[in-house]
Amino acid sequence: MLDKKITVLVVDDQEDLAKEIASVLQTDEALVVIGVALDGVEALEKMKEQRADVVLLDIRMPNMNGVVATQRIKTEYPDSKVLILTTFDDSDYILNAINYGASGYLLKDIGGEALINAVKNAHGGDTILPAKIAKRITDAAKNVAVDREVKLARAFALSDREVEIALMLYEGFTNRQISSALKLTEGTTRNYVSSIYEKLQCESRTEAKEKIKAIL
């Protein structure tokens, strides 16, 4: 007895390309394309008719782009996997789609066999990121981290060490955990925390978190 087939919805505003992708996927007996949609709005309508296991989603479309569609699909159908398919390796789009729950990102020049494998692997729970895209995401994430540190330092005149500890406070670390992670005595950590409170003009972790959140 064959395993249940993986249902796939292909979403792309270029209808000919969407049909071509669907044809490639249909060559594998484990996959069945349940429909083709031309934008995010139509994709959501088709998902209401029949939920797809995997949605192959173009990121730049009229009416509702792939980032917004990803958010809507993952909110309404959390078990469905979304794979972003595009010609653009735009790190902002990538990060936003991944943050909304996309299972990965593929360029449209991907070969047929690789595309089929990506759909199967995404359905199995893997995150699909080509090497050059993974590097862009890593670089973008590093830039975000640096931006956070610069914002905090400028807003409250914090030293590099105080910025490091302030972010750890924001993430919920206790004094003991901070001391262990940074190899500081608990007394030294308390002194840093007191200095941070003074510069943030607050008296508790809760207040500190709120002030840091407002800056980040």
Go through the domains of the chain in sequence order and give each one's CATH number. 6-129 (3.40.50.2300), 137-215 (3.40.50.2300)
Residues 167-192: tens digit of each pLDDT: 999 888 889 989 988 889 999 999 99
Residue 112: how many other CB atoms lie within 10 Å: 14
Closest to 91 (Cα-Cα) out of 51, 129, 43: 129
Indicate the pairing of strand 54-58 with strand 81-86. parallel
Which of 38-47, 97-106, 120-129, 161-170 is the least confident region?
Answer: 97-106
pLDDT of residue 123: 95
Q: Which of 54, 4, 46 is nearest to 29 (CA)?
A: 4
Task: Kindly state the average pLDDT of the residues 126-131.
Answer: 80
Cα distance between residue 21 and residue 209, in whole Å:
47
* 18-27, long-range: CB < 8 A, 24+ apart: 21/56, 21/85, 21/115, 24/112, 24/115, 24/116, 25/56, 25/115, 25/116, 25/119, 27/112, 27/116
Q: pTM of the entire structure?
A: 0.63
pLDDT of residue 8: 98
Q: Which residues contact 155 (CB under 8 A, 6 or more apart)?
A: 215
Write 143-150 long-range contacts (CB < 8 A, 24+): 148/216
- d(CA 206, CA 214) in angstroms, rounded, equals 13
Q: Which residues contact 159 (CB under 8 A, 6 or more apart)?
A: 153
Which of the two residues, 49 and 89, has the higher pLDDT score? 49
pLDDT band at 97 (very low <50, low <70, confident <90, very high): confident
For 82, the token pair is 């979304």
1-51 pLDDT per residue, tens: 346 899 999 999 999 999 999 999 999 999 999 999 999 999 999 999 999
